[in-house]
């Protein structure tokens, strides 16, 4: 129980200002430009969501029900996938790169069109590459590498056509 309380306190300690310190405005703009450049090469949509901590409702479930934090991070990423409308693409080929700073948790959530092509082991390898960069505090490098790795199957299976991509979703990362 003490470990759960410690986890909750860590999340309560962090807020959006911690996210903004980690992802400063210059880095945010560079990531924005990289997402735009990636999407110019394929018809998919890529979103980046970085938040400092889980909302209180998730923490309550961890404290009261003992739901593991990694499972809650996955649930939160899936929820944000829906809230950010990443699923709302013509070819069902959107992907969310999710980073939870309090837990150094990384999640990739891809829509069914992309999941039908990319094997689970490939997603896991991408997450592990990101984790190595994040563990050493290189968030921009990790996100840039992840964007590159996620873009590869999009370019291969959903290449951009002769007309520009409609860009259904904003390219700028979201900080929570």
Q: Is 48 helix (H, G, I), strand (E, B) or coil?
A: strand
Close Cβ partners of 68 (under 8 Å, ≥ 6 residues apart): 62
Compute the CA torsion angle 158, 163, 167, 172 (nearest 10 deg): 90
Q: What predicted TM-score, i.e. pTM, was given to this entire model?
A: 0.93
The pLDDT assigned to 130 comes to 84
Mean pLDDT of the chain: 92
The pLDDT assigned to 9 comes to 84
Q: What share of the chain is helix, strand, coil (3-state, %, to 5)?
A: 55, 15, 30
CATH numbers and ranges of domains, the chain: 16-53+74-158+168-175 (3.10.310.50)
Residue 1 reports pLDDT greater than 90: no
Looking at mean pLDDT, say which of 16-25, 61-70, 123-132, 165-174 comes out highest: 16-25
Q: pLDDT digit string (tens) for 151-168?
A: 999 999 999 988 777 788
Close Cβ partners of 124 (under 8 Å, ≥ 6 residues apart): none
Q: Count other C-beta atoms under 10 Å from residue 51's C-beta.
A: 23
């Amino acid at each position: 129980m003490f470990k759960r309380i410690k986890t909750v306190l860590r999340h309560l300690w962090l807020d959006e200002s911690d996210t903004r310190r980690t992802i400063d405005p210059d880095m945010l703009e560079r990531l924005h430009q990289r997402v735009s450049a990636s999407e110019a090469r394929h018809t998919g949509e890529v979103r980046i969501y970085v938040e400092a901590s889980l909302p209180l409702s998730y923490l309550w479930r961890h404290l009261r029900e003992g739901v593991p934090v990694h499972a809650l991070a996955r649930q939160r990423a899936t929820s944000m996938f829906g809230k950010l409308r990443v699923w709302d693409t013509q070819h069902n080929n959107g992907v969310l790169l999710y980073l939870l700073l309090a837990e150094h948790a990384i999640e990739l959530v891809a829509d069914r069109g992309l999941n039908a092509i990319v094997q689970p082991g490939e997603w896991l390898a991408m997450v592990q590459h990101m984790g190595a960069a994040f563990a050493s505090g290189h968030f921009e490098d990790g996100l840039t590498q992840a964007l590159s790795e996620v873009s590869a199957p999009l370019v291969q299976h959903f290449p951009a056509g002769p007309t520009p991509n409609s860009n259904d979703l904003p390219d700028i990362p979201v900080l929570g």
